[in-house]
């Protein structure tokens, strides 16, 4: 599970809206502006897919992400996550386990704030020239120098469309794709509440260390 966790920690959905980007902004400022604008969006739903050339036993993973302010619900066949604003519930269906932690111990990092925090340190982010309706950011990890992240922003749809993780030979190792998304919905609050009665046979593990 740790290997999958390490992979997914830097994958994100197209959560970021942006406006008035210009060539004078550096990469992290672009992500910050995109994050700030995304926070203004009302309830949202994203369909996503994660593929991997390294670990085909675990991937691809497809699912849905639902967001209501700081709360979120991630729904996949393998793993679900519910953050109710206080506690994070990671539901592992294969093991029939539910792990309760703080938000900082999340299995997925899909919210705008989480993504910005991931890239703000130990990364050098450059802006490539725009092509048609796309803006490309190249993020180089200053610690893991053998990995490069290419973030493709669809400026027409106002979202991050794709992230490719490449090695130093420019070969794509893993990719995240946004399939579709809807903004300004009216999602029920019950979607972001954990109901133990739905998982009577699951083992509940609390881990707040």
**Is the predicted pLDDT of residue 186 greater than 70, yes or no?**
yes
**Is the predicted pLDDT of residue 168 greater than 70, yes or no?**
yes
What span, in angstroms and rounded, lies between the C-alpha atoms of 117 and 72? 17
Summarised one tens digit per residue, pLDDT across range 51-75 is: 888 777 777 889 999 988 888 999 9
The domain total for the chain is 1
Highest mean pLDDT among 96-110, 112-126, 143-157, 184-198: 184-198
CATH number at residue 24: 2.50.20.10
What span, in angstroms and rounded, lies between the C-alpha atoms of 18 and 166? 25
In terms of residue numbers, what domain contains 9?
2-206
DSSP-derived letter for residue 20 is: S
Place of tokens 């979607």: 191
2, 111 Cβ separation under 8 angstroms: no
Summarised one tens digit per residue, pLDDT across range 24-50 is: 347 787 777 777 767 777 898 989 998
What span, in angstroms and rounded, lies between the C-alpha atoms of 113 and 193? 21
């Amino acid at each position: 599970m740790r290997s999958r966790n390490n992979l997914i920690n830097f994958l994100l959905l197209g959560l970021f809206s942006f406006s008035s980007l210009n060539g004078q902004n550096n990469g992290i400022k672009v992500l910050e502006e995109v994050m700030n604008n995304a926070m203004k969006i009302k309830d949202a739903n994203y369909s996503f897919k994660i593929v991997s050339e390294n670990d085909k036993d675990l991937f691809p993973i497809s699912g849905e992400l639902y967001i209501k302010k700081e709360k979120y619900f991630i729904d996949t066949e393998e793993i679900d996550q519910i953050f109710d604003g206080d506690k994070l519930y990671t539901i592992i269906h294969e093991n029939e386990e539910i792990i309760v932690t703080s938000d900082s111990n999340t299995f997925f990092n899909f919210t705008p704030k989480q993504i910005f925090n991931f890239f703000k340190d130990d990364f050098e982010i450059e802006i490539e020239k725009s092509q048609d309706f796309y803006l490309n950011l190249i993020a180089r990890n200053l610690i893991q120098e053998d990995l490069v992240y290419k973030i493709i922003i669809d400026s027409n749809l106002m979202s991050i469309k794709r992230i490719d993780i490449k090695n130093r030979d420019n070969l794509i190792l893993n990719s995240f794709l946004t399939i579709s998304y809807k903004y300004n919905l009216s999602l029920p609050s019950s979607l972001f509440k954990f109901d133990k009665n739905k998982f009577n046979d699951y083992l509940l593990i609390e881990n707040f260390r």
